[in-house]
Amino acid sequence: MIGTTEIILGGVGLAAGFVDAIAGGGGLLTVPALWLTGLYDQRFVGLQNPQAALATNKGQSVWGSGMAFLRFYHSPLLDRKRMGLSFLMGFVGAVGGVFVMLRIPRDFLQPVVMVMLMAVGVFMIFYRPPMTKCRGQAPPHARVTAGRMPALLGAVAIAAGIGFYDGFFGPGTGVFLILAFVLYFKDLLHEASANAKVVNFASNLGAVAVFLPMGLIEWRLALPMAVGQAVGGWMGAHVTVRRGVRLVRVMLVVVSLAMVARLAWQLIS
């Protein structure tokens, strides 16, 4: 039977999937929702375990990133030459990150990530990205992909490094991926958003692969959120394909600064 809790979580999942598909930051909505449910609904008191909350968050967010990836796959934005390697390394990196997270505290990362997200937000405020690639010229990222080894090394470093971060800590993963693809591969912002979702889906999948056999995912919460995530992820990716660079830039600024505010609140409370 579907109750009020499940309906609310489904709505949160939809909103989070939509935002996350564009610029990352879906965890701004889903993690607090899971914590509130775990704290105030006696049926889900087990989610007072922080590892269970993180596992359940991955169990639902993988559906949003998966549907966003599927929508981007049927668009011209995705770079298929680096997609396979990025996916593999994002998966492997996240598996390693989760195993490390389960063994050591992560609190020391919070102020570092706050500074990094603030820097991304400020950068995007002043950054004036190109709207299109120049006709008759090679795409900007061809300067990297033309040399196969630099492209391979870049894909490995970005996907494995940020995939590990997503498994270990997580906040800002989508933002950092987009910025990395813009700066290294010279992707346009909406292309970077699409390519980031390859790694994000892989890292979510890697985390779920670790959490699932441990029994830490609370599916009574994850499933209604997963339905919303799937719908929201597809919608967010579709809007990104249609609206392009300007939308992603605005959302990156908003998401980055919102994450800084949330992490600061956690730090002082």
Q: Are 100 and 69 in contact (CB under 8 A)?
A: no
**Can you give the pLDDT at residue 116?**
80
Mean pLDDT by runs of 10 across the 269 residues of the chain is 83 95 90 68 52 88 97 94 95 96 76 81 77 50 57 91 93 92 93 97 97 92 95 96 90 90 80
- Report the C-alpha gap between 231 and 242 in whole angstroms: 17
> The pTM is what?
0.87
Exposed e or buried b for every residue in 97-134, given b needs 16+ CB within 10 A?
Answer: bbeebeeeeeeebeeebbebbbebbeebeeeeeeeebe
Helices (H) and strands (E) in the chain, counts: 11, 0
Q: How remote is the C-alpha of 73 from its chain's centroid?
A: 17
**Can you give the pLDDT at residue 143?**
46
CA neighbor of 166 nearest in space, from 246, 260, 251, 89: 89
CA neighbor of 83 nearest in space, from 74, 92, 73, 93: 73
Q: Are 13 and 226 in contact (CB under 8 A)?
A: yes
**Can you give the pLDDT at residue 137?**
43
**Can you give the pLDDT at residue 136?**
38
**Can you give the pLDDT at residue 106?**
67
**Can you give the pLDDT at residue 42?**
42
CA-atom Rg of the chain in angstroms: 18
Scan for tokens 């010229």, then name that residue: 137
Question: 68-94, pLDDT tens digit by residue?
Answer: 999 999 999 999 999 999 999 999 999
**Can you give the pLDDT at residue 228?**
97
CA neighbor of 217 nearest in space, from 229, 228, 204: 204
